[in-house]
Amino acid sequence: MAGIVIYGSQYGTARQYAEELAGRTGHEALPYGSVGDINQYDTIAYVGALYAGGVLGMKRTFAKLQSCEGKTVVIATVGLADPTDSQNVSSISNGMAKQLPAKLLQAAHVFHLRGGIDYSKLGFKHKTMMRLLHGKAQSLPEEEKTAEVRAMLNTYGKQVSFVDFDALDPLVAVLGQSRGVLPLDRS
Ligand SMILES: Cc1cc2nc3c(=O)[nH]c(=O)nc-3n(C[C@H](O)[C@H](O)[C@H](O)COP(=O)(O)O)c2cc1C
């Protein structure tokens, strides 16, 4: 059964997760721009960074998938905002629903991971976007500050990493099952 870990990463945090996941599952990790025919894989894990609510490279990657029938698809988003915050998760889910066909989204195992940011590494466009967002966020009343806004305010201008490889355990479990290496039938 052929499997792959594909990632969409601008500054490396999603790539770190993808490479760790690849190491733990025995699959190859590739950036989304370097994947050949996605249809040859039975198991597809996509690890993508969140940018303005969208998952980097995800739409373009899965647009090439003819059918998800019989395949194991795992999708993990990587963002700065707290992935245990229900409002944040529902806003990520809404974004994903705009990027993927409903059938694929239903079939996929979806996870949300926390990434990081290093302002000294941001490109001009991203720095400018963050400066504008920060300016707006500062003036928001406390009750209107979402997890996304709070994460941005708390980390603005800094270098922070919330990367936590233990958060990959449930993904490894799903991917392991798809390869038939995990199931321990105790019945
Ligand atoms: C312009 C910009 C927009 C972002 N938008 C979001 C967002 O909508 N939600 C979120 O949780 N994090 C957002 N982030 C934070 C990134 O998702 C986070 O830094 C992630 O770890 C980046 O992954 P990468 O290092 O693989 O590129 C944004 C960061 C930048 C610079």
Domain spans in the chain, listed from the N-terminal domain onward: 3-116+161-178
For 23, other C-beta atoms within 10 Å of its C-beta total: 13
Ligand 1 centroid to 70 CA: how many Å?
32
Helix, strand, or coil (residue 187)? coil
Q: Whose CA is nearest to atom 22 of ligand 1?
A: 49
Ligand 1 nearest-atom number relative to CA 14: 26
DSSP code, position 11: S
- Name the CATH topology of 3-116+161-178: Rossmann fold (3.40.50)
Ligand 1 nearest-atom number relative to CA 88: 11
52 lines ligand 1 (CB under 6 A): yes
* Dihedral (CA of 136, 92, 151, 127) sign: negative
13 lines ligand 1 (CB under 6 A): yes
155 lines ligand 1 (CB under 6 A): no
Please say whether the beta carbons of 9 and 15 come within 8 A.
yes
11 lines ligand 1 (CB under 6 A): yes
H/E stretch holding 172 reads helix 169-178
Helix, strand, or coil (residue 28)? strand
Rounded mean pLDDT of 67-74?
A: 96
Mutate to test the pocket of ligand 1, among 19, 20, 51 (most ligand atoms within 8 A of CB): 51
Supply 127's token pair: 């720095």
Q: Whose CA is nearest to atom 4 of ligand 1?
A: 51
What pLDDT is recorded for position 179?
Answer: 63
What pLDDT is recorded for position 181?
Answer: 56
pTM of the entire predicted model: 0.95
What pLDDT is recorded for position 183?
Answer: 46
Q: For 29-69, what is each residue's pLDDT tens digit?
A: 999 999 999 999 999 999 999 999 999 999 999 999 999 99
Chain centre distance of CA 172:
15
Count helices and strands (H / E) in the chain: 7, 8
- Measured CA to CA, the distance from residue 72 to residue 78 in angstroms comes to 20
Please say whether the beta carbons of 5 and 22 come within 8 A.
yes
